[in-house]
Amino acid sequence: MTPTPIDLDVAIIGGGPGGLATALALTRAVKGTRVKVFERAKTYRPLGAGVGMDVNGMKAIEAIDPALEKWFYANGWTVPVAKTFDERGNEVKSEKMDPGVSMKKYGKRGTILGWYEIQSAFYRALPSDTVVFDSRFQSYEEDSDGVTVHFAGDNPGPVRAKVLIGADGYFSAVRQQCLNDGPPDFAGTVCWRARVNMKQPLEYSSWYFGAEKVGLLYPISADHMVWTGSAPIKLVKEAGVDFDPSNGGRFRASTQAIEGVDNALERCLKVFEGYPEAFLEVVRETDPRAVAEHGIFTRQAEALPADGWGRGRVTLIGDAAHPVRPTGQGLNMTMEDAAELAWHVQQHGLTAEALRSFELERIPRVGVIVKKAQQQGEAAYKKHAQDASQDNRRFALEDDYTDFKNKKNFRPLYISDITS
């Protein structure tokens, strides 16, 4: 006997920060919307490292839920000084980070949080039965009234919804069925990162450039910090570390449940041999099980589909829609997606029209960020720290980039009387 489908307004695939933020935005934008998030993990575990929320991401969160914005600022961390070092550990630059400048210019400032804290904050803000764990999306069928969604092992059984949102990350299975445009491109860089306890408070963030690698240390709270190290595949191979982004294996799994990759710490240390002790000391002392290793994947701005990245009653958000190099905008753009999608649904209802108008409005903005992140990412891996830090900063500060990131205000999504 065919089971009766679970009947919903919105089915979201993927319970990362993007899927959760979208669920919250939709429930706030349209009163009574029945939303569920289907997540393949069995439960949430304290994974991830840290995230720098930028002005644009904070504005989007404010539009979604002003109380949550307050929580982000109350629990986020700011770093008063950013220092840059070369590959020998010599200080190249020290910059004061004054949040007042950003407040004056944009009415908001950035803040730093642990990735897991961000995911947990969105999860807590939703009704407790919103996320359905252990549900791996498999396929969907669309007809004139809605979408029927199927999951691996038929768990939790078929789901019927007016719209389907793919928030399932870099290697989105929803995108694969919807657009069938293949996996994202390997950007040529491998990244390691971890969150560690701090013995003493860290008063500044440290960037290490030079020798064609990038290292970064930054605090995310009074007692935790994050390190990241990234290097081009050429250097990874030269260090004798085997990494094949095309093998479809565990590394290709990228940011999905990445922690605990065998020997990731050892492999990172091999690649970063000879790097400054102040960086390596922190890396060496990390619990090996906490180290995430993954390739960086992206889709070029030119590859953004001009007619929208969804079809019919299906759309995508976050990394599924526009994976970018990690220059600090991935999660911020994902928050923008959540706020904007909900606004378009508020205007046009749960219709294909709402999804297309959301995508078409997002494409030019996302295109600029994807392009700049690509340039900024490429400019970081220089032989000499001076060249890398100057170029990295130049792209980060270019007017069209910062203005595009920061000037936009998102329309508040107060609970309205509009019903789905």
Ligand X SMILES: Cc1cc2nc3c(=O)[nH]c(=O)nc-3n(C[C@H](O)[C@H](O)[C@H](O)COP(=O)(O)OP(=O)(O)OC[C@H]3O[C@@H](n4cnc5c(N)ncnc54)[C@H](O)[C@@H]3O)c2cc1C
Contacts with ligand X, residue ranges (CB under 6 A) = 13-19, 38-41, 47-51, 115, 135-137, 167-169, 173, 255-257, 318-320, 326, 330-331, 334
Ordered DSSP codes for 358-417: HHHHHHHHHHHHHHHHHHHHHHH--SSHHHHHHHHHHHHH-HHHHHHHHT--PPP----S
Q: Which residues, including other chains, have CB under 8 Å from residue 29's CB and lie 6 or more apart?
A: 342, 343, 345, 346, 413, 415, 416, 418
Smallest distance, ligand X to C-beta of residue 185, A:
16
Task: For the CB of residue 317, give the shortest distance to ligand X in the complex, in Å.
Answer: 6
Residue 385 phi/psi, 5-degree rounding, is -60, -40
Shortest Å, Cβ 222 to ligand X:
19
**Cα distance between residue 100 and residue 60, in whole Å:** 20
Beta carbon nearer to ligand X, 355 or 385: 355
Inter-residue contact 415 to 31 (CB < 8 Å)? yes
Considering the complex, state which of residue 106 and residue 151 has its C-beta at the smaller distance from ligand X. 151
Pick 239 or 290: Cβ nearer ligand X: 290
Q: Which CB sits closer to ligand X, 134 or 391?
A: 134
Torsion of CA 38, 40, 41, 44, to 10 degrees: -20
Least distance in angstroms from the C-beta of 39 to ligand X:
5
What one-letter code names the amino acid at 315? T
Task: Quote the least distance from Cβ 25 to ligand X, whole Å.
Answer: 13
Q: How far apart are CA 53 and CA 109, in angstroms?
A: 9
CB neighbours of 330 closer than 8 A, spacing ≥ 6? 318, 319, 323, 324
What are the angstrom distances between the C-alpha of 243 and each of 234, 240, 252, 269, 381?
A: 10, 9, 10, 15, 18
Structure-token pair, residue 305: 């589909």
Query: Minimum Å distance from CB 293 to ligand X?
Result: 12
Q: How far is the CB of 417 from ligand X (least distance, A)?
A: 30
Task: Please report how close the Cβ of residue 233 comes to ligand X at its closest, in angstroms.
Answer: 20
User: CA–CA separation, 230 vs 367, rounded Å?
Assistant: 24
Tokens 């029209």: give the residue: 353
Q: With respect to ligand X, which residue has the nearer C-beta, 89 or 157? A: 157
| 78/419 with CB nearer ligand X | 78
Return the number of the residue (173 or 202) whose C-beta is nearest ligand X. Answer: 173
Give the Cα separation of 392 and 373 in Å (integer).
10
By the 10 Å C-beta count (0-12 exposed, 13-18 middle, 19+ buried), 203 is classed as exposed
Q: Between 334 and 375, name the residue whose CB sits nearer to ligand X.
A: 334
